Chain A
């Protein structure tokens, strides 16, 4: 069973800044099986990135994903007020889905 960790737990930035969130897996993750989600209060999660670096439908190009093996990142350039939310990484491996614990992006 793959375990995902995320860092930092909380990131405090200002609109216009760039954010980099990290996701580390306990074992290698297939590149087609790593995704990122954004969740705002009172809403269901929204798929941002799948297959490590492919943006989901309607996701602006300010969002980008990268990494391989056990280390992955989500980068958000030119933060907009609506980007401040909780972000989760997620993988599928060994026929099991796993979510990371989440990382909160808050306004400084």
Chain B
């Protein structure tokens, strides 16, 4: 499976960040897909997951600003983050959980760097 994130490299403060994860080589159905971010020089922060069109959940710290969606016809997972600030500057990853039973993010994209700046 190949995972490719895409999105704008630069977003202005207070605007909405929109990212897309395009998956090839395998259907995105029946897997948990997550967005994870990593600010420069810092650790990993899970943002949200989606499972088919039936289930989503969010990091409580970001729940009010994040929205994750899925388009199975395009094999894509998307994320929107509203009212961004400089603290949202990060490398954003799309990742697939290996299974419903024994979990772990077995497949990752290379990430897309998003800078929030005016």
By a beta-carbon cutoff of 8 Å, the part of chain A in contact with chain B is 1, 32-33, 35, 37, 39, 44-47, 49-51, 54, 56-57, 88, 90, 92, 95-102
Contact = CB atoms under 8 A, between A and B. Distances in A.
A44 B104 contact: no
Contacts of B109: 44
A56 B36 CA distance: 20
Given A35-B104, A44-B108, A50 B98 contact: yes
A32 B49 CA distance: 18
B104 A90 contact: yes
Interface string B26-57: 00000000101000000111100100000001
Smallest CB-CB A-B distances: 8 pairs? A50-B104, A35-B104, A44-B108, A51-B102, A97-B46, A99-B44, A102-B43, A32-B102
B106 A92 contact: no
Given A96-B57, A96-B59, A45 B44 contact: yes
Contact of B44 (A33, A49, A50, A102): A102
Nearest to B61: A1
Of B34, B49, B101, B108, which is in contact with the most chain A CB atoms at under 10 Å from its CB?
Answer: B108
